Amino acid sequence: MTANSYLTGIASQAILRDEEKASVHRSITTLQTRLANYFGDQIGQHFVFGSFSRGTILPRSMDPQSDVDYMVVFADVGLQPQAYLDRLRRFAEAQYVRSEVMQSHPTVVLELNHMRFELVPAVRNWLNCLQIPRKGYGFQKWQDTDPNGFNQTLSNANQVYGNLIKPLVRVMKYWNATANYPFESYALEQHLVGQAYGFLGLVASRQLADYFFQAARSLEAGWSAPQWKQDAVNRLKHLASTAQSQERFGGSVEAEATLMRILPPVRDLLRA
């Protein structure tokens, strides 16, 4: 097995299977109905955004923190973010009495059996721009957001680079999960999509492994990051470089074994 075939196998496993995807869609439909019945004209839009809408969400078996982001746009304005978070929390507690509900960051987390939902309150400002609670301000400040603007950016990059950017994102998010999340998931996606992959976009024989090795080289934890994050990134860089060298000199078996240290086989993860 080559490095590319191993990485391609990981990427193919990092997709919601039909049954899991259908279950999530049923939960979304139920959530939409319950929100409409509970809030009525108190809310305007409400919709899925984030990794589920982009097709880069991982199965919970590969990322225990995998979740579906759902935005709820309230019709009234002028209140502090915490007031809207309290509304969503009361809704979730009333409508999902058997599920775990908590506030985490500027969202309300609804933990279902098969998937976690993060409910994000939003309002529109006088320019009709969407705003959500800003992290790190005690949920008392707003920030502008374009919840689905990144979707097109990702799609464009994926098309330019031979439909290999979405698989790359899923592989790298799997590494991030196994490494105890040195990067916030959305920030990692933005970084990967924003890379200039240069000549790879012009090479007909480009492979997922080429993008993976470049992506690994491009990551930086930052000088102020905790030591464990720097160690995780340095380990990725070292092992990815080792695997690339091994394969370049004909050691495909050795390269696969090295990649397994970065990206363990999913079957091993399930047994753990």
* Percent of the chain residues topping a pLDDT of 90: 85
Q: Round the average pLDDT of the chain to a whole number and report it.
A: 92
What pLDDT, in 10s, does the model give residues 3-35? Answer: 999 999 999 999 999 999 999 999 999 999 999
Domain 18-148's class?
alpha beta
3-state secondary structure (DSSP) of residue 114: coil
Q: Where are the domains of the chain?
A: 3-14+150-271, 18-148
3-state secondary structure (DSSP) of residue 201: helix
Query: ∠ CA 44-142-82 to the nearest 5 degrees?
Result: 75
What pLDDT, in 10s, does the model give residues 59-71? Answer: 999 999 999 999 9
pTM comes to 0.91
Query: Measured between alpha carbons, how far is 272 from 262 in angstroms, rounded to an integer?
Result: 16
Mean pLDDT confidence for 83-102: 96
Joined tokens for residue 229 = 């994050």
DSSP code of 58?
P
Which amino acid is it at 35? L
pLDDT at residue 206, rounded to an integer:
85
What pLDDT, in 10s, does the model give residues 177-224? Answer: 999 999 999 999 999 999 988 766 555 568 999 999 999 999 999 999
